């Protein structure tokens, strides 16, 4: 069970949060100018690194605010927590996978 430091509420148990998956995904638009491949990429392509992963979380059963986190997918060490609008301080491992 991860111990997550909500930027507003402090350290709380993982149960209070919901993970929104990979962060810093750019929503392409306007719709008419987006190719099928680009749109499919936005919907389905995700990094799957063995190592640092930038993802977004929401304190669902607390303050309800979203924030960003960089988490190591193998050790579950939390490397960084920062606001939704801030840039990622620790780049995700590009992760060639296995």
Partner 1 sequence: MTADLQPFRLASGGLIDRTQPLTFHFGGRAYTGYRGDTLASALLANGVRLLGRSFKYHRPRGILGAGVEEPNALVQLGSGDRSMPNVRATEIELFDGLTAKPVNCWPNARFDIGGINNLFANFLNAGFYYKTFMWPSWRLYEWAIRKAAGLGTVPNLPDPDRYENRYAHCDVLVIGAGPAGLAAARTAAATGARVMLVEQDAELGGSLNWTHGRIDGMSSRQWAAQSADMLDAAPEVTVLKRTAAVGYFDHNMLTLVERLAWDPAVLARDGQASCCLWQVRARQVILATGAIERPIAFAGNDRPGVMLASAVSQFVARYAVAPGRRAVLFANNDEAYAAAFGLLEAGVHIEAVVDPRPVPADFAAALTARNVRLFGEAVVCDTKGYKQLSAVQIRDNSGKTRWLACDLLAVSGGFNPTVHLFSQSGGTLRYDEQQAMFRPGVSRQPVISAGAAAGTMDLAAGLVEGHRAALASTRTAGVSGPGDAPLADPARPVQPIAPLWNVGGGKSKAFVDFQHDVSVSDIALARQESFVSVEHLKRYTTLGMAADQGKTSNVNALAIMASLTGRSIQDTGTTRYRFPFTPVPLGCFRGPATGDLFRPLRRMPGHACHAAYDAVFEDFGGWLRPAYYPLPGETAHAAEQREARLVRTQVGLFEGSPLGKIEVKGADAGKFLDLIYANTMSTLKAGRCRYGLMLNEQGVIIDDGVTAKLADDHYLVGTTGAGADRIAAWLEEWLQCEWLDLDVIVAPVSTSWGVLTISGPAAREVLRKAGTDFPVEAGDFPHMSFREGHVAGIRARVFRVSYTGEVSYEVNVPASRVAELWQALIIAGEADGIRPVGVDGWMVLRTEKGYLHVGADTDGTTSPLDVGWGHVLKKKNDFVGKRSLLRPNDQSASRLQLVGLRALDGAAALPIGSHIVPRAGEEGSGGYVTSSSLSPTLGRGVALAMLIGGQRRLGETVMVIAERGQRPAEVVELAAYDPSGERLNA
Residues that bind partner 1 (CB under 8 A): 1-3, 13-14, 20, 27-32, 34, 36, 39, 42-43, 56, 58, 60, 64-66, 75-76, 84-85
* DSSP assignments along the chain, one per residue: --EEEETTTEEEEGGG-EEEEE--PPPP--GGG--HHHHHHHHH-----SSEEEEEEE-TTTT--EEEEEEETTT--EEEEE-TTSPPSSPPP-----
Identity of the residue, 6 or 58, whose beta carbon is nearer to partner 1 in the bound complex? 58
**Closer residue to partner 1 in complex, CB, 75/98:** 75
Cis peptide before 77 (omega within 30 of 0): no
Q: How far is the CB of 84 from partner 1 (least distance, A)?
A: 6
User: Smaller CB distance to partner 1: residue 14 or 45?
Assistant: 14
Q: How far is the CB of 90 from partner 1 (least distance, A)?
A: 18
Write down the least CB distance from residue 96 to partner 1, Å: 23
């Amino acid at each position: 069970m991860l111990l997550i430091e909500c930027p507003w509420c402090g350290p709380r148990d993982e149960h209070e949060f919901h993970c929104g998956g990979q962060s810093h995904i750019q929503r392409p638009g306007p719709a008419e100018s987006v190719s099928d491949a680009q749109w499919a990429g936005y919907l389905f392509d995700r990094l799957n690194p063995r190592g640092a992963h930038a993802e977004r979380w929401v304190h669902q059963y607390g303050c309800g605010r979203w924030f960003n986190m960089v988490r190591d997918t193998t050790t579950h060490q939390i490397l960084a927590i920062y606001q939704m609008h801030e840039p990622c301080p620790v780049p995700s491992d590009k992760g060639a996978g296995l």
